Structure 1
Amino acid sequence: MHKTKRSLPRMSPEQLGIVPQQVISFLDDVKAHQIEMHSFMLLRHGQVAAEGWWAPYAPELPHMLFSLSKSFTSTAIGMAVHEGILKLDDPVVSFFPEDLPNTLSEHLAGMQIRHLLMMGTGHDQDTMDALINAEDGNWVRAFLQLPVPHEPGTHFLYNTGATYILSAILQKASGQCLLDYLTPRLFEPLAIENPTWAACPRGINTGGYGLNITTEDIAKFGQLYLQKGVWNGERLIDEDWIAEATSKQISNGDGGDSDWAQGYGYQFWRCRHGVHRGDGAFGQFCIVMPEQDAVLAITSGTGDMQGILNSAWDYLLPGFLPEPVATNEGSAELSEYIAKLQLEAPQLRSESILETQVSGKRYEIDQDQMAQVPFPLKELRIEFDRDSARLNMKLESEDSITLGREHWLVESTITIEGKRTRVAGSFTWKSQDELVLTMQAIETPFCATLEIRFADNTLTMNSRYNVGWDEVITVQGKAIN
């Protein structure tokens, strides 16, 4: 497996003025709230004080960022503004004359790049569904056809389609896609290796989601913002842009205890405690704490994103001291704690007498029940070995996943959103006739659990997911050999 270079310096938490027990308390609190974290990296004064991955997640693996991608798109716009390629008050419609509606509304005509950045386009619902559903694959045209009921700049609405339009504008203005534009300007200087970014049918990077990088890469991005755009003595981002992008540009609520109501910048969220962040669905975070001179990078698979922030404020913030901690006694305890981080493979019952009967049988899935399933499963076959099993699935194409008997095996890849991604698999038996398969896609937040009950030549399969789909999905199948 490709090893990512560890390019950030490391130092003990005590040397950096962090109380190790507070980091442990943070991790304990997250666990107590049943929040599934996949990795974290805590920096202070530009150095890594603590870092951990919940096995089978690992440091060298990229992770889907979801909307944390937006902060990188904003950065590209800031660079383009500094280079004179764009201006914040440029009208959006000026870049796409060939895609405009027949009648140009006053609000659409008044929409500027700054309104896209601040999520103040004037729309009353996220435009992304309309873009994805555009039959001709022209997402720009689909965006420009939508009604704009509010005056741009007056109404906050979180709008992933707006960030896509930023990506499209950058490509139109620079002649490069977002990923190619950022590579020499951001990714290479920060030693972010092999970033990937999803694209629309016309080859424009999605902008609002789709970037895949490692936890350390997220931390470096946060550190760059903490250092006001300077990296290794070289200015990468204009300092005024960083101040503007991370300041409140539009109101998104009335404050209070919600970190989603403290104001919004240019694709960055304001937080309590003078903090700002980029974030993505299911708990992907780049948290910058200027008052503490600290950065916290996190990847997760949770629906409780506020819970992670609450734990950070409650336990990490009090752990930052103005001077180094006198002793190093807590470092060993923290290191031991972190070394044991893992997502437990389910262990219920290691064997069943049914294994020899069902091993290798092909089961055809009832297609009338497949409309509700997130993936178009047609057939499955499970072959058991002494210490492992292989799940063969016929979807649009053939896929197979190797699973460890009550332990993780990382030997397989599957396609998620057009990208091959590694899967850790395990299996156990709930009873003599009920098999439990767990598949953790370890470059994403997603984990699928299949509970399969065998009876004669039929099976009933219940599918559930840790995030993304709330309901349990049940389908039937019958043996065909």
Structure 2
Amino acid sequence: MTILDKLKAGIASGLLRDLHGVIASHAGQIVLEHYLTARDEAWGRPLGEVNFGPQMLHDLRSVTKSIVGLLYGIALDRGQVPPPDAPLMPHFPEYPDLAAAPERQRLTVGHALTMTLGLEWDEERPYTDPLNSEIAMEMAPDRYRFVLDRPVVAEPGTRWIYSGGSVALVGELIRRGTGQSLPQFAKEALFEPLGITDFVWAAGDDGVPSAASGLRLNSRDLLRIGQLVLAKGQWQGRTIISQAWIEASLTPAIDTGDGLAYSRLWFIGEDATTALPGSHPWVAGFGNGGQRLWLMPDAGIAAVIFSGKYNARDAWVTPTRIWREIILPNIGA
């Protein structure tokens, strides 16, 4: 059986549910690509039945965060944003009352990039719950004050707390440093150099593009971004992102508490693959509903998985099965 046959068999068996599309590459060559027809939505807005394909835009949800991490690296390479070890609060001077608090003076940009600010944040609640911190941030009159004013629950740098608010701060640092909106900077600095021409970046009611979850791309373009990371920031002989930023992003900074690590808006883990002996590290962007950008640098493997099981706690099952049972055992064998 080919790798595509195995994927189709998994779908037919009912083990791979709510899948919208899969594309994977090895050593820069596409080795698997398959799409289905299913119901979908765009940032909660129903789209009805969609016939998915390689050019169809799809919510990335929190995979957006990993793209923002790359954008911060580009802006830093250009000297437009502060380095990770820079204090955070001086870059939000409109909140002098918060900046005066000693416990917040220890916050750095790096803490925002690694979700280790130590500030209270709850995204365990469903995203349909107004008490979910990301939803509450979207509804707040000032999203940045809302984030920075959360109660301190841990020493900065010591505890990982999943936080769309951290990424909102990173996105705002990019906007302030570059003088461009997040979509404008992404288009100029990342998308156009890669030949990506079609994207949508959803914004909140205040008009601010969501750095945490707002990006829509097609599968091939997201795979292209993954291949850029595998190439350590090089694309067709041009440096898009410095190798130093890529390498730092792939180096674990903090344990997440569930067997994974995290660094600069990327999850990091380890799995075995037939492409190489033994286990090897992977990095990934994870998004609500089963969206995935999975990369195994040592093996040169990149994979994009789009799914439609939004707001479900078991949405991780299908993409994880595809990665571990279809892609890794059958690429490079």
**TM-score bucket (shorter structure):** 0.7 to 0.9
Give the match's secondary structure for 2:97. coil
The CA distance in 1 between the partners of 2:171 and 2:182, in whole Å, is 6
Q: Is the 8 A contact 1:263 1:269 kept in 2?
A: yes
Given candidates 37, 40, 48, the residue that maps to 2:22 is 40
Amino acid at match of 1:54: L
The CA distance in 1 between the partners of 2:96 and 2:150, in whole Å, is 11
Given candidates 89, 99, 108, the residue that maps to 2:104 is 108
Q: Deviations over 1:30-85 (max 9, x none)?
A: 55325111111111111212212103222222001100000111011111111122
Aligned positions of 1:255-266 closer than 5 A: 255=259, 262-266=260-264
Amino acid at match of 2:209: N
The CA distance in 2 between the partners of 1:194 and 1:43, in whole Å, is 21
Q: 1:293 to 1:183 in 2, by over 3 A?
A: same
Q: Is the 8 A contact 2:26 2:332 kept in 1?
A: no
Q: Deviations over 1:352-391 (max 9, x none)?
A: xxxxxxxxxxxxxxxxxxxxxxxxxxxxxxxxxxxxxxxx
Shift of residue 102 of structure 1?
Answer: 5.5
Higher helix share: 2
Given candidates 133, 137, 143, the residue that maps to 1:131 is 137
The CA distance in 2 between the partners of 1:23 and 1:104, in whole Å, is 58
The CA distance in 2 between the partners of 1:312 and 1:26, in whole Å, is 11
Moved more, 51-60 or 227-236: 51-60
Q: Deviations over 1:254-276 (max 9, x none)?
A: 52xxxxxx211111111222111
The CA distance in 2 between the partners of 1:295 and 1:76, in whole Å, is 19
Q: Is the 8 A contact 1:101 1:144 kept in 2?
A: no
Amino acid at match of 1:216: R
For residue 97 of structure 1, what is the aligned residue in structure 2?
A: 93
The CA distance in 1 between the partners of 2:138 and 2:323, in whole Å, is 35
The alignment's TM-score, normalised by the length of structure 1, stands at: 0.58
The CA distance in 2 between the partners of 1:292 and 1:23, in whole Å, is 19
Asked if 1:21 corresponds to 2:2, the answer is yes
Q: How many residues align?
A: 295
Q: Is the 8 A contact 2:121 2:150 kept in 1?
A: no
For residue 156 of structure 1, what is the aligned residue in structure 2?
A: 160
Q: Is the 8 A contact 2:4 2:34 kept in 1?
A: no
Asked if 1:297 corresponds to 2:304, the answer is yes
Instruction: Please say which structure displays the higher CA radius of gyration.
Output: 1
State the identity as a percent: 26
Q: Deviations over 1:200-245 (max 9, x none)?
A: 4444321011001101111101111111111111110111111111
Give the match's secondary structure for 1:321. coil
For residue 195 of structure 1, what is the aligned residue in structure 2?
A: 199
Structure 2, unaligned stretches of length 5 or more? 38-50, 123-132, 272-280
Q: 1:171 to 1:87 in 2, by over 3 A?
A: same
Give the match's secondary structure for 1:156. coil
Given candidates 322, 327, 333, the residue that maps to 1:316 is 327
Amino acid at match of 2:231: Q
Amino acid at match of 1:28: A
Given candidates 236, 244, 251, the residue that maps to 2:248 is 244
Q: Is the 8 A contact 1:95 1:169 kept in 2?
A: yes
Shift of residue 105 of structure 1?
Answer: 2.6
Q: Is the 8 A contact 2:60 2:291 kept in 1?
A: yes
The CA distance in 1 between the partners of 2:322 and 2:19, in whole Å, is 12
For residue 130 of structure 2, what is the aligned residue in structure 1?
A: none
Q: Is the 8 A contact 2:98 2:148 kept in 1?
A: no
Give the match's secondary structure for 1:275. strand
The CA distance in 2 between the partners of 1:99 and 1:187, in whole Å, is 33
Q: Is the 8 A contact 1:69 1:207 kept in 2?
A: yes
Q: What's the Cα RMSD here?
A: 1.9
